[in-house]
Structure 1
Amino acid sequence: MTTIQERAAHFTALHDDLLVLPNCWDAGSAAVIEATGAPALATSSAAVAWALGRPDGNQLDRDTMLDALRRICAVATVPVSCDIESGFASDDADLAETIAQVIETGVVGVNLEDQVDGTLLPIGDAARRVRVVREAATRAGVDAFYLNARTDSYLLGRADFADTVARAHAYLDAGASGIFVPGTADPEVVKRLTAAIPAPVNVLAGPGAPSVACLRAAGARRISAGSSLAGAILGHLRRATQQLLTDGTYDELAGGMSWAELNALFEQSPPSP
């Protein structure tokens, strides 16, 4: 069995080319995604929250999120990264504790946001939090821990290129491994961002976004589906249920994985906590 440091180093190396991450939210989705050949897994905070009957946006408590991570890591054999939103923490000590406990689950990287409740943190405060995460990972003995620092200027509608780049450089100086810029998948913007940021840039993609090949050409080194995969699955669930209840037919149930296929994914898995 590889150590968490080795898994973290492997996950980091996957960013040398282009890493495409179809985000998971529970043990079942993690197992199915890995079985398709995904080289790594990443959680979507929104999808995890929805699976647990909660809204997205820092609504989950840390222990609930950690329980979900343990179940995912129990079935995964590839590296797992997780979205910790703004860190499930009220101060730096709490944030460091979040990282220590996340690493104990077997996770090898995190996404850390630089906004809280729709407001961007001052750049100095956000960079300090990045440093707290890096130092906590180092204390835990995982120097290769992948810290994907997320900056939300575009996501919040500000689309401030200069501020995004300044934040990216500050976060990298503080110990970030890569920079996540959700809110734009415009190839020209991505090309400018990747030229200005000396680290892997993560793009959030979904319906209507340019193809993976196009984003690769623009310089993206990580593409995340975010919550869109969970949204697609739940949307199909709604369509299938409506058809069953209204038409009494089953076309929307066709093409799914069989009982045997799904059961086989978990026959060798250890029991979830």
Structure 2
Amino acid sequence: MSTQQEKAAMFHQFHTKGNPLILVNVWDAGSALAIQFAGAVAIATGSWSVAAAHGEQDGEAMPFQLVLDNLARITASVDLPVTIDIEGGYGRFASEVKGNVSQVIHHGAVGINIEDQLPSGAGLYAVEEQCLRLSAAREAAEQAGIPLFINARTDIFLQNAPERHNHALLEEALIRSKAYAEAGASGLFVPGLQNLQLIQELCERSSLPVNVMVTSHEPSPKQLAGLGVARVSYGPYPYLQAMEHLKELGQSILSGN
């Protein structure tokens, strides 16, 4: 079995522009095992799905200790590298982020998603403040001796309707990409961005490998690979699909069909 350090190094290598890492987001140990058996090379949680599976709302409403307990069950159940979505880091200040990331690493994760959306859900952290938070996460990883993959999520596109996505927003994202890379980020996550031309330009100009989130069957990983995407994730989509199948099964059984 690979060590945590080996899994972390392996996870970094999976992020290749034009040959993206495909992550089917999970929410607990059972779903993680199912995705491992399906042939995944890595496991990723999605905060919305994890919260929903535990009867909580997204947006750091789920107690952090429960997040850690769930992570521990996942990392103990699978042999693959595990990355965890910790939303905004469960703390506004850099010191809080550092402490929480240390705990995440202690519970077996080799990667995190950490976003620049303010806890209120409206607006973003200033670039300078978010960089302090990312630097704190990197410091925690260095102290633990784990080359943590810090997937820096920017909600620039998510907080703007798709019809408003333009080159001005792209330039804002690139400013954050550069700053986040200098602060210790390993990748750039741009949920909400669907415009293929903008995705391609972002991949061409960002120094960080780009993660795009898909919430349906389109665009396909193959299409996104052609644009230079290095990571494709599916957010709440797998959970929602699984719950729909479960409801259909339940209705079929309960109706006697």
TM category (shorter chain) comes to over 0.9
C-alpha distance in 2 between matches for 1:193 and 1:164? 8
| Larger-gyration structure (1/2) | 1
Counterpart CA distance in 2 for 1:180 and 1:101 is 22
Name the aligned partner's letter for residue 230 of structure 1: Y
Aligned length: 247
Tell me what 1:79 maps to.
Answer: 81
**Matched letter for residue 23 of structure 2:** L
Alpha carbons 2:20, 2:221 under 8 Å: kept: no
2:221 aligns with 212
The CA deviation at 1:123 is: 1.0
Query: 1:216-263 CA deviation, whole Å, 9 max, x = no partner?
Result: 001101000111000100112222223334x431xxxxxxxxxxxxxx
2:136 is the alignment partner of 1:132: yes
Q: TM-score, normalised by structure 1?
A: 0.87
* Alpha-carbon distance in structure 2 between the residues aligned to 1:85 and 1:55: 12
Alignment of 1:229 onto 2:238: yes
Cα distance in 1, alignment partners of residues 188 and 86 from structure 2: 15
Contact in 1 for aligned 2:93/2:133 (Cα 8 Å): no
- Confirm whether residue 36 of structure 1 aligns to residue 45 of structure 2: no
Q: Residues of 2 paired with 1:58 and 1:209: CA distance?
A: 29
Structure 2 stretches lacking a partner, 5+ long? none
Distance of 1:126 and 1:225 partners within structure 2: 24
Matches of 1:101 and 1:37, distance apart in 2: 28
Cα RMSD after superposing both structures: 1.3
Return the alpha-carbon distance in structure 2 between the equivalents of residues 37 and 238 of structure 1. Answer: 26
Q: Does the CA-based 8 Å contact 1:202-1:220 persist in structure 2? A: yes
1:186 is displaced (CA, Å) by 2.5
> In structure 1, what is the Cα distance between the partners aligned to 2:39 and 2:252?
32
Q: 1:68 aligns with which of 67, 70, 83?
A: 70
In 1: Cα distance, 2:77 partner to 2:66 partner:
18
Structure 2: distance between partners of 1:211 and 1:186: 14
User: For the Cα contact (< 8 Å) 1:194–1:219, is it kept in 2?
Assistant: yes
Give 1:215 shift: 0.5
CA contact (8 A) 1:127 1:174 kept: yes
- 2:172 maps to what in 1? 163
Alignment match, 2:103: 101
Aligned mates of 1:211, 1:90 — CA distance in 2? 36
Q: Tell me if structure 2 keeps the 8 A contact 1:187–1:214.
A: no
Alignment equivalent of 2:153, drawn from 134, 147, 150: 150
In percent, how many aligned pairs have the same letter? 39
Tell me which amino acid in the other structure corresponds to 2:256: G
Contact 1:113 1:151 (C-alpha < 8 Å) held by counterparts: yes
TM-score, normalised to structure 2, is: 0.93
Quote the offset at 1:208 in angstroms. 5.5
Q: Which residue of 2 aligns with 1:4?
A: 4
Determine if contact 1:61/1:88 at 8 Å carries over to the other structure.
Answer: no
Alignment deviations for residues 117-168 of structure 1 (CA, whole Å, 9 cap, x no partner):
23211111111111111111101111x2100000001011163111111111
Which secondary structure state, in structure 1, belongs to the residue aligned with residue 238 of structure 2? helix
How do residues 183-202 of structure 1 correspond to structure 2 at under 5 angstroms?
183-202=192-211
CA distance in 1, matches of 2:76, 2:61: 24
Q: Which amino acid aligns with 2:5?
A: Q
Distance 2:156 2:234 in 1: 19
**Is the Cα contact below 8 Å between 2:28 and 2:50 reproduced in 1?**
yes
Residue deviations 1:177-233 (CA, integer Å, cap 9, x gap): 010001013221110110110121000012153111110001101000111000100
* 8 Å CA contact 1:18, 1:221 repeated in 2: yes
Find the aligned partners of 1:223 and 1:149 in 2 and give their Cα distance. Answer: 14
Higher RCO (CA 8 Å, separation ≥ 6 residues) = 2
Any gaps of 5 or more consecutive residues in structure 1? 250-273
